[in-house]
Amino acid sequence: MEIDSKGIGLDVNDSDSLAFPLDTRARFEAWIDTLRDETRSAELAESETYNDPVADWEITCESAENCDIAFDGVLRLDGFLSGSIQSSGGTLITGPGSINADITAGEATIGGAVNGNISVDRRVVLRNHAKVIGNIKSSGLSVKPGSLCRGECDLRPIAQETKSENGTSSLDNFVRSSSNNGSKSRAGIAAAHVEA
């Protein structure tokens, strides 16, 4: 290797380095390839961490308006739609796409965009590409890095509702005592952007 007048090392046996001593293309391409490999590895690791239940129903739509969906069991929903989604205890799993609807279910895993309120009995999972513009009411919330939630989050444990001697339910007593001592699990208006 020889050093030129600017202090740049040149391989005299390599005709390309003599013609273009400052060509960084090969280094740049190698760097881009490592980034692609890292991204693929991260996506693979992420997909392996989700243990979604097997869907009883799958709906994929490119565009649908005024949809009223009622289901039991596990529903996987991909695509773009507006309307309402309801289940008395089922699990909703959304993938890529955008949903403009209020969601009521037993559990929800959001992988795309939702513009509407989400009310579930058990938990809501916001995956790393999820974007929710609306209120979330649930007993549990899991927010993955990269997701966005803008709205109120009302998190309350599932309580067995029993009537006491004075006629009030245990859930009423829980809400009343929580609001009196200020320990109510409420995030208020949250514009939460989670970063790794």
- Which residues of the chain are under the pLDDT cut of 50? 7, 17, 48, 160-162, 169-171, 173-196
Query: Cα–Cα distances in Å, from 138 out to 32, 166, 179?
Result: 42, 28, 17
Residue whose structure tokens are 């293309």: 25
Q: What is the pLDDT of residue 187?
A: 37
Distance CA 98, CA 108 (A): 15
Q: What is the pTM of this model?
A: 0.59
In 3-state terms the chain splits into helix, strand, coil percentages (rounded to 5) of 20, 45, 35
Question: Are 132 and 126 within 8 A, CB to CB?
Answer: yes
- Residue 167 has phi, psi (to 5 degrees) of 90, -5
User: How is residue 108 annotated by DSSP?
Assistant: E
Q: Which of 114, 175, 123, 105 is nearest to 147 (CA)?
A: 114
Question: Are 124 and 108 within 8 A, CB to CB?
Answer: yes
Question: Are 53 and 74 within 8 A, CB to CB?
Answer: yes
* In the chain, domain spans: 57-159+184-193
